[in-house]
């Protein structure tokens, strides 16, 4: 196992990477008009972190990323959206990993749950049930994003060598 100080350094690197991805994401306009819903690029970092450092460190990295991202380039509203998305995604990924899904299934669960959580937040913001009519499209987009994310995370975890980190 890597030393605690090494783990903390890696956490910092993941947080920074997550912040950059979150920033890039703010320029990507979702083709579907559901307010506040984002594609969840930073989930790549969550998957990588979950596989290399385990659940507890991933929770810390996720909370740091979401909080810093809201302070640096977000708003209280975007904080609620990203926290809901990231937290439900992480919970689902943790479950999927324990249920022995591969990194693809894990990242798929994360992406789909991320979109479900953000749609739920949009529902509370707008208080209109019609928001949920967009959910199927968001789940399809999330499925696609999740498989791509799984592919990228798989390569990254391999390159970085999950055992030696």
Minimum Å distance from CB 55 to another protein? 20
- 19/108 with CB nearer another protein: 108
CA distance 14 to 86: 14
- 26/128 with CB nearer another protein: 128
CA distance 94 to 109: 9
Query: Which residue ranges make up the site for another protein (CB under 8 A)?
Result: 33-36, 99-105, 108-109, 112, 122, 125-126, 128, 130-131, 133, 135-137, 139-140, 143, 147, 154
- 1/129 with CB nearer another protein: 129
- 27/130 with CB nearer another protein: 130
- Consecutive H or E run containing 54: none
Minimum Å distance from CB 12 to another protein? 27
Q: Tell me what percent of the chain is helix, strand and coil, each rounded to the nearest 5.
A: 80, 0, 20
CA distance 124 to 95: 26
Minimum Å distance from CB 161 to another protein? 14
Minimum Å distance from CB 117 to another protein? 15
- 65/97 with CB nearer another protein: 97
Rg (CA), the chain: 15
Minimum Å distance from CB 103 to another protein? 6
H helices then E strands: how many in the chain?
A: 6, 0
What the block records as the tokens of 20 is: 């950059």
């Amino acid at each position: 196992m890597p030393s605690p100080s090494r783990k903390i350094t890696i956490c910092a690197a993941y947080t920074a990477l997550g912040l950059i991805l979150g920033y890039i994401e703010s320029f990507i306009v979702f083709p579907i008009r559901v307010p506040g819903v984002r594609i969840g690029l930073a989930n790549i970092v969550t998957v990588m972190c979950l596989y290399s450092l385990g659940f507890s460190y991933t929770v810390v990295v996720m909370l740091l990323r979401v909080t810093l991202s809201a302070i640096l380039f977000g708003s209280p509203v975007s904080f609620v959206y990203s926290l809901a998305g990231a937290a439900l995604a992480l919970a689902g990924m943790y479950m999927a990993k324990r249920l022995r899904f591969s990194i693809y299934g894990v990242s798929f669960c994360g992406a789909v749950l991320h979109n479900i959580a953000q749609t739920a937040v949009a529902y509370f913001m707008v208080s209109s049930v019609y928001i949920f009519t967009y959910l199927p499209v968001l789940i399809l987009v999330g499925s696609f994003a999740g498989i791509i994310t799984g592919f990228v995370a798989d390569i990254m975890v391999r390159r970085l060598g999950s055992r030696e980190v």
